[in-house]
Chains A and B, each alone.
With several copies, the nearest count.
Chain A
Amino acid sequence: AAGVAGAAALGRPAAAAEGDDAILKPQPWATSLGQPVAANPYGVPSKYERALARRQSPGLTQVAAASVSFAPLQGMFGIITPSGLHFERHHQGWYDIDPAKHRFMVNGARPEFVKTPKVYTLDDIMRLPPVSRMHFIECGANTGMEWGNVAVPTVQYSHGMLSCSEFTGVPLRTLLEDCGADLKAAKYVLAEGGDGSAMTRTIPIELVLSGEVMVAYGQNGEMLRPENGYPLRLVVPGVQGVSWVKWLRRVEVGDKPYATKDEAVHYIDLMPDGQHRQYTSIQECKSVITSPSGGQMLLDKGYFNVSGLAWSGRGKISRVDVSFDGGVNWVEATLQTPILSKCLTRFNVPWNWDGRPAVLQSRAMDETGFVQPSYGQLRAVRGTRSIYHNNAIQSWKVADSGEISNVQIL
């Protein structure tokens, strides 16, 4: 790894006695005319922000159209993920579907399950009573590379299959009722995508009946991005991303689970006894410190804010604790508001770095009382080959050089 940069890297040039040229000398932005409004009818980030981009993890997959790009959590703030940085997971590539040609169908696995199978256009869906809610989406395989040992250097790669948006759409329940679905007989529904993979997943009827599952078209105030399922995707709060079927074209009401490829060959969790857990869906309570984090370096001793994200597929975050000594002692972090169900919660905690080695951890608790497990606790039950649903406490080791690396602590 690298050595710590000198004082120059502080962004604080040793000011001459007089002062800092950035203040004493006229800067172009203060002494000239800037660019007009609507120079960008649709705006983009500063050119100085290009480091914050979605990236693949080299070697994770062989083909980029059945792969993942990770969100750069190491440089993000608050809870909203800008849609341009939303993580991607495609199985057969992404499409920019013409919304005028997109259709959504509801049918029954057996005729008696749905009185009138129906077809909806976007015109139809967008006329129905909508809801807007903020939710996290996490891939079931997030942190999957780290089940057995440390594998990746930064939080982008260890936890970056995680995003959070305000979604707008129609409760799936409303649509099923509109078709006369038999919601007593229904035990599961199948959601199917309009993409090449025609991605299919069995969806818990409990979440449909609760009104939480939505057929969404809106994401952070605008339409879904093509990479995220434009023009329609399923939103299944608290459940792993693969169930949030993108480019959604059909929902079928049934009474048996479907054992589709991505719930019979992948997104199944291998236990130490050789059995696979099937239909594992809920993303249990988890958290991670995003700043400072792996691959970063502290340039100075002194005051720092330690910031991170916590979330639970079972409801609201109730508390987050942070340790600076690898989990021996803990302090309670401040939670940012709003604290919403099945949504990211941002936490912050102050830290005075004295220049000595430290190990930073965060441990989240949700409203059910569940406390995020350590690697020791998780592996004791589930071993190391589960791939999915790794919600262990993450550790970042701060060296005396200020360099931060990914380590695992039991």
Chain B
Amino acid sequence: AESFPGVGRPATPAEVKAWDIDVGPDFAGLPKGSGSVDRGQTVWESKCESCHGTFAESNSVFTPLVGGTTAEDMKTGHTANLRRTDFPQRTTFMKVATVSTLYDYIRRAMPWNAPKTLSDDDVYAVLAYLLNLAEIVPSDFTLSDANIAEVQAMMPNRNGMTTAHALWPGPGFGTEANKPDTGNTPCMSNCKPKAEQVSILPDYAWNAHGNLAGQNRAVGPVRGMKTGPDEAEA
């Protein structure tokens, strides 16, 4: 490798510690500590519920965090509702396979308006509270670095992920497929008997995006259609 005299300097241990906050699925990077569901409820009520709702059920800023998982899912490691096409939404706990993800994310990014302000123990506590809301741990549970692997073994959708697809470049994952799963042929004429139209823009959606006339140039090959309300003048 080329050398670049004068460029960059070694990071100090304190610097690496300050920024290396990631926690992996194998719990590499997980800080020591613990927090109870009770303590988590206090954190939640003061710092989280305004956005996510008392029971993390709020739809107002984001899809609910909990709901849609069952005790059966905790056995199979598959959220059964994900197979249903009529299930109304996909909560965080329905999807997330790795509890490390939640620890890592809450520590780095929540509360949304004051990220990175929770202590490590508070992150344990509020995560314990969410796990309890999701009916994964009991209400007297205390989550810690020592028992988090046991929680992982109960995550409802822990077996719900696959890397068997061609959308990762190279052989990064052992189980993957490397051939695209879709595609087409470059047929040029009489490629099908007719063009089968299966969906059109619903009437209400025409006007839901404002006046399209004002979203297109007033000169050129085309004009925008006159639809919904004009944007407020700038």
**Contact (Cβ within 8 A) A153 B209:** yes
Q: A109-B28, A276-B95, A409-B197 are in contact. List 20 more A-B contacts (CB 8 A).
A: A19-B12, A58-B210, A62-B60, A105-B11, A119-B10, A121-B219, A123-B219, A150-B199, A150-B201, A150-B202, A204-B172, A261-B104, A277-B164, A291-B220, A295-B216, A297-B222, A330-B186, A370-B180, A381-B182, A393-B184
Residues of B within 8 A of A91 (CB): 109
Binds B, one of A79-87, A131-139, A250-258, A333-341: A250-258
Known: A5-B223, A196-B115, A238-B169. A153 touches B104 (CB 8 A): no
Name the distance in Å between B209's Cβ and chain A's nearest Cβ: 6
**Contact (Cβ within 8 A) A128 B7:** yes
Q: Which of A267-298 contact B (CB under 8 A)?
A: 268-271, 273-282, 284, 291-292, 294-298
A228, CB-defined interface residue at 8 Å: no
Residues of B within 8 A of A381 (CB): 181-182
Tell me the bound Cα distance from A66 to B109 in angstroms. Answer: 12
Residues of B within 8 A of A282 (CB): 166-169
Name the distance in Å between A313's Cβ and chain B's nearest Cβ: 8
Name the distance in Å between A27's Cβ and chain B's nearest Cβ: 10
Residues of B within 8 A of A363 (CB): 184, 186
Known: A120-B7, A264-B97, A407-B197. A276 touches B186 (CB 8 A): no
- Tell me which of B5, B85, B101, B218 contacts A99 (CB under 8 A): B218
Interface of B is mostly: loop
**Contact (Cβ within 8 A) B209 A152:** yes
Known: A31-B115, A278-B161. A127 touches B7 (CB 8 A): yes
What are 6 A-B residue pairs whose CB atoms fall within 8 Å in the complex? Answer: A31-B116, A127-B221, A153-B212, A282-B169, A296-B225, A405-B200
Name the distance in Å between B111's Cβ and chain A's nearest Cβ: 9
Residue of A whose beta carbon sits closest to that of B226 = A2
Name the distance in Å between A18's Cβ and chain B's nearest Cβ: 5
Name the distance in Å between B135's Cβ and chain A's nearest Cβ: 18
User: How does the 8 Å CB contact mask read for A350-383 relative to B, with 1 for contact and 0 for none?
Assistant: 1010000001000101000011111111101110
- Tell me which of A257, A278, A321, A409 contacts B195 (CB under 8 A): A409
- Tell me which of A12, A200, A303, A327 contacts B192 (CB under 8 A): A327
**Contact (Cβ within 8 A) A178 B212:** no
**Contact (Cβ within 8 A) A303 B186:** no
Binds A, one of B17-25, B123-131, B139-147: B17-25
Residues of A within 8 A of B224 (CB): 51, 74, 295-297
Residues of A within 8 A of B215 (CB): 51-53, 55, 72, 74, 154, 156, 295
- Tell me which of A23, A177, A292, A365 contacts B19 (CB under 8 A): A23
**Contact (Cβ within 8 A) B21 A198:** yes
**Contact (Cβ within 8 A) A301 B83:** no
Count residues of chain B with CB under 8 A from any CB of chain A.
112
Known: A268-B95, A296-B222. A302 touches B172 (CB 8 A): no
Tell me the bound Cα distance from A210 to B61 in angstroms. Answer: 40
Name the distance in Å between B20's Cβ and chain A's nearest Cβ: 6
**Contact (Cβ within 8 A) A330 B225:** no
**Contact (Cβ within 8 A) B160 A274:** yes
**Contact (Cβ within 8 A) A153 B170:** no
A206, CB-defined interface residue at 8 Å: yes
Name the distance in Å between A289's Cβ and chain B's nearest Cβ: 12
**Contact (Cβ within 8 A) B101 A51:** no
Residue of A whose beta carbon sits closest to that of B233 = A50
Residues of B within 8 A of A373 (CB): 182-184
Known: A265-B96, A297-B225. A178 touches B4 (CB 8 A): yes
A300, CB-defined interface residue at 8 Å: yes
Residue of A whose beta carbon sits closest to that of B59 = A62
Tell me the bound Cα distance from A384 to B205 in angstroms. Answer: 19
User: How does the 8 Å CB contact mask read for B82-121 relative to A, with 1 for contact and 0 for none?
Assistant: 1101000010100111101110110011001111110000
Residue of B whose beta carbon sits closest to that of A183 = B1
A225, CB-defined interface residue at 8 Å: no
User: How does the 8 Å CB contact mask read for B186-199 relative to A, with 1 for contact and 0 for none?
Assistant: 11111111111111
Tell me the bound Cα distance from A256 to B28 in angstroms. Answer: 10
Residues of B within 8 A of A35 (CB): none
Name the distance in Å between A52's Cβ and chain B's nearest Cβ: 7
Name the distance in Å between B47's Cβ and chain A's nearest Cβ: 14
Q: How large is the interface on A (under 10, 10 to 19, 20 to 34, 35 or more residues)?
A: 35 or more
Name the distance in Å between A274's Cβ and chain B's nearest Cβ: 4
**Contact (Cβ within 8 A) A264 B98:** yes
- Tell me which of B184, B198, B216 contacts A409 (CB under 8 A): B198
**Contact (Cβ within 8 A) A62 B168:** no
Tell me the bound Cα distance from A117 to B113 in angstroms. Answer: 31
Tell me the bound Cα distance from A320 to B141 in angstroms. Answer: 59
Rank and list the top 8 A-B pairs by shortest CB-CB distance, nearest first.
Answer: A302-B6, A326-B195, A206-B170, A274-B83, A177-B1, A371-B184, A261-B105, A280-B167
A37, CB-defined interface residue at 8 Å: no
Known: A109-B28, A196-B109, A204-B170. A274 touches B80 (CB 8 A): yes
Tell me the bound Cα distance from A21 to B192 in angstroms. Answer: 52
**Contact (Cβ within 8 A) A23 B15:** yes
Residues of B within 8 A of A187 (CB): 172
A43, CB-defined interface residue at 8 Å: no
Residues of B within 8 A of A31 (CB): 114-117
**Contact (Cβ within 8 A) B206 A118:** no
A188, CB-defined interface residue at 8 Å: yes
Known: A119-B9, A363-B186. A24 touches B79 (CB 8 A): no
- Tell me which of A1, A105, A380 contacts B227 (CB under 8 A): A1
Residues of B within 8 A of A377 (CB): 182-184
Known: A105-B19, A277-B163, A279-B172. A303 touches B6 (CB 8 A): yes
Residues of A within 8 A of B95 (CB): 264-265, 268, 276
